[in-house]
Amino acid sequence: MIVRTLDEITDTERDVEAENKQWRSKRIVLAKDGVGFSVHETVLQPGTINDFWYANHIEAVFITEGEGELYDKDNDITYQLAPGSIYVLSGNEKHQLRPKTLMKTVCVFTPPVTGREVHDENGVYPLITE
């Protein structure tokens, strides 16, 4: 059984912030926990534009706080996001997240991330295994 709190993760190696301070991700469950997925709380700053492309992972994102837009760059569709919304990048879609207000999300990745991944110039996490 795994039991953790966000307070335990804050300011540890599991607490990662983008260099430009546009988002902060607390990696609650990682690959080394051995459960087949990873779980993160990610907070995104309002007014930012965040380009991502998880070419090696499936990601599900549940919005718990705040509002914004998700732009599907592959299909030229914009979705409105609010608390209670979920989106699943089941086709490895290139996307852009545009928070209108401070947004808090819970993200699940499969395969699980290790916590050592860094977005490359295309917004991609490399596939790193434990």
Q: What is the pTM of this model?
A: 0.89
Q: Would you say residue 124 lies in a domain?
A: no
The length of the chain in residues reads: 130
Query: Which residues span the domain enclosing 92?
Result: 26-110
- pLDDT tens column, 102-119: 999 999 999 998 876 666
Number of structural domains, the chain?
1
Handedness of CA 85, 89, 69, 50 (dihedral sign): positive
Residue 5, in any domain of the structure: no
Q: Is residue 1 part of a domain?
A: no
Mean pLDDT of 30-49: 96
Indicate whether 26 pLDDT > 80: yes
Q: Residue 99 maps to which CATH number?
A: 2.60.120.10
pLDDT at residue 114, as a whole number: 83
> For residues 58 and 52, what is the distance between their CA atoms, to the nearest angstrom?
12
Per-residue pLDDT at 21? 92
